[in-house]
Amino acid sequence: MSEIRPIRWADGQLHLLDQTRLPAEETTVVVARYEEAVDAIREMRVRGAPAIGVTAAYAMAMAARRLADESRGQPGSQFMPLLEQAATRIKAARPTAVNLGWAVDRMLAVAASSGTPPEIAGRLLAEAEKIQTEDEAINRRMGEFGKDLMPDGGSVLTHCNTGALATSAFGTALGVIRAGWESGKRFDVFNTETRPWLQGARLTSWEFQKLGIPATLLVDSAAGMLMRQGRIGCVITGADRIAANGDTANKIGTYALAVLARENGIPFYVAAPTSTIDLGLPDGDGIEIEERAPEEVTRYGAVPTAPQGVAAVNPAFDVTPHRYITAIVTESGVASAPYAESLLLAVRSEK
Ligand code: MRU
């Protein structure tokens, strides 16, 4: 099987596998301007915290290249102030995943080095490529650490999509499941549908099929019943932002799964790179939760699924308090409570 790589830089443009079209169509959107990358993030053509970070890094490189072209030969260049304006716009594309702001800040730090605008633009492209390459390596390391948590003969439930599609390649929580499977362990895999965008049904099921890992799809609300029946042995999800104390923001529905797991005596794991850990936030109360359009709940594509004019609320993420989390897998190892200490150590060891 060839690896799924949703983000590709070629011919001076960003090629994104359009995740709004999967699994029906495998089409690519080609992005030449940073504003189009911002739109692609907002419209969920590319999604998942690490993938958003990588796309944001390329968006910064595209902004820098255009500004360098425009400022060529002109004294008193506005290059840096205009690049900072682009950075603010890119950061605002989606608020919850910290990887986006993390990647943009890393690019700004490179841009602050001395050099002409074209030199800086060249360095920014190299940095974006480095972030993408590093992401795959980090995910594979998480898989190595996390595979020991996977059962041999039991079962695992996952939520949303945390696979290659949500990253540069390999994935986070799905990568841990993959690493467990590829180590020779055999277990049942369940994945939720993940309303309203159906990242689980459309994307995770597609990835498991490509990987040759048998997986069973369930509606989100069936998870409690399956746990009570003893059919789920553990749960593993990704994360969009992890506060210093371990409180974890992830796809809406994660909190309910964690509480159900505790009620049923099932371990609940999170897998995320250290770039998802936000040590600036003491706990999850400070995490901004993206609210998306109510129409995503009241219709599916063009098809209404609720009466016209009905009110709907659509938080895209929720926060799981750290007390429900059995362990957090990062590229530096498996962290456990007290997370205020173990996550700090994990972040420091990757600096
Ligand atoms: O709204 P999405 O599809 O971007 O949400 C994605 C998730 O919540 C993932 O679980 C998270 O980003 C981790 S992805 C490796």
Question: What are the chain's domains?
Answer: 7-140 (1.20.120.420), 144-349 (3.40.50.10470)
Give yes or no for residue 273 CB within 6 A of ligand 1: no
pLDDT in tens, 183-220: 999 999 999 999 999 999 999 999 999 999 999 999 99
Q: Is the CB of 164 under 6 A from ligand 1?
A: no
Ligand 1 pocket member 316 (CB < 6 A):
yes
Decide: 192 in ligand 1 pocket, CB within 6 A: no
DSSP structure string for 278-344: ETT-SSGGGPPPPB--THHHHEETTEE-S-TT-----BSEEEE-GGG-SEEEETTEEE-SSHHHHHH
What are the residue ranges of helices labelled H in 150-253?
173-182, 205-211, 223-228
- Cα–ligand 1 centroid distance for 285 (angstroms): 19
101 — phi, psi (to 5°)? -65, -35
The residue behind tokens 């490509």 is: 210
Q: Can you name the residues that pair with 29 across neighbouring β-strands?
A: 16
Query: Of all atoms in ligand 1, which is nearest to the CA of residue 199?
Result: 3
Angle at 313 between CA 171 and CA 219, to 5 degrees: 50
pLDDT at 301: 87
| CB of 178 shorter than 6 A to ligand 1 | no
Residues of the chain with pLDDT under 50: none
Q: Which of the listed residues 7, 18, 47 should we mutate to test ligand 1's pocket, taking the one with most ligand atoms within 8 A of CB?
A: 47
pLDDT at 49: 96
pLDDT at 1: 72
Kindly report, residue by residue over 80-138, the tens digit of the pLDDT.
Answer: 999 999 999 999 999 999 999 999 999 999 999 889 999 999 999 999 999 999 999 99
- For residue 207, report the distance from its CA to the centre of ligand 1, in Å: 15
Alpha carbon of 166 to ligand 1 centroid (Å) = 7
Q: Say if ligand 1 is within 6 A of residue 50 CB.
A: yes
* Whole-structure pTM value: 0.97
Compute the distance from residue 319 Cα to the ligand 1 centre, in Å. 13
* Ligand 1, atom 15: closest residue by C-alpha: 162
Residue with the nearest Cα to atom 6 of ligand 1?
48
Residue with tokens 């605002």: 92
Q: Whose CA is nearest to atom 8 of ligand 1?
A: 251
Lookup: tokens for 271: 């897998």
Residues with a known catalytic role: 240
The pLDDT of residue 114:
87
Q: Is 233 in the pocket of ligand 1 (CB under 6 A)?
A: no
Q: Which of 251, 257, 276, 320 to mutate to test the pocket of ligand 1 (most atoms within 8 A of CB)?
A: 251
Residue 27 CA neighbour count, 13 Å, CB half: 7
163 lines ligand 1 (CB under 6 A): no
Q: Dihedral, CA atoms, 236, 39, 278, 50, nearest 10 degrees?
A: 40
